[in-house]
Amino acid sequence: MKSLGSHLILELYHCPAALLDDPRHVSQVMTRAVEASGATLIQPFFHQFAPQGVSGVIIISESHFSIHTWPEYGYAALDIFTCGDCIDMHAAAESLRRGFRAGAMQKMMLSRGLLDLPPELIQHKPAAAALRPAET
């Protein structure tokens, strides 16, 4: 059965509070993760909460990356959702782990939109090979 999308749920633990409470740093780390994944960035948005914490989303052509931080616990919850097969979610996860200097990371991958249709009828999702440049 073909799915419409993949959803990677990340939990980062034991991160320095200062990194999780800095919206500029959070934005930079998230943007680097988008780049590491090979996704196409459309629009970022981040918000600083009082007294602490940052939430944000980066809309990508393939769907989105999102985050919410709890600096007081050294914890960040992240989602990477994509409807394409060409995004390297694991490269993104590793980039996020390094960028937030997480002492521990948990990952859970879900298939979203499982449809009982033949793969050729799901047209919105190009095959990875079709998007690669021709080899010479």
**Given 6, 15, 37, 63, which residue is catalytic?**
63
Give me the residue label for tokens 């600083």. 48
**Given 6, 15, 83, 95, which residue is catalytic?**
83
- To the query of whether residue 83 is one of the catalytic residues in this protein, the response is yes
**Given 6, 68, 86, 95, which residue is catalytic?**
68
- To the query of whether residue 86 is one of the catalytic residues in this protein, the response is no
Alpha helices in the chain (DSSP H): 17-20, 23-37, 89-99, 128-131
Task: Provide, for the chain, the percentages of residues in helix, strand and coil under a 3-state DSSP scheme, each rounded to the nearest 5.
Answer: 30, 40, 30
- To the query of whether residue 15 is one of the catalytic residues in this protein, the response is no
Residues 6+ apart with CB under 8 A from 64: 57, 58, 79, 80, 81
Positions annotated as catalytic residues are 63, 68, 83
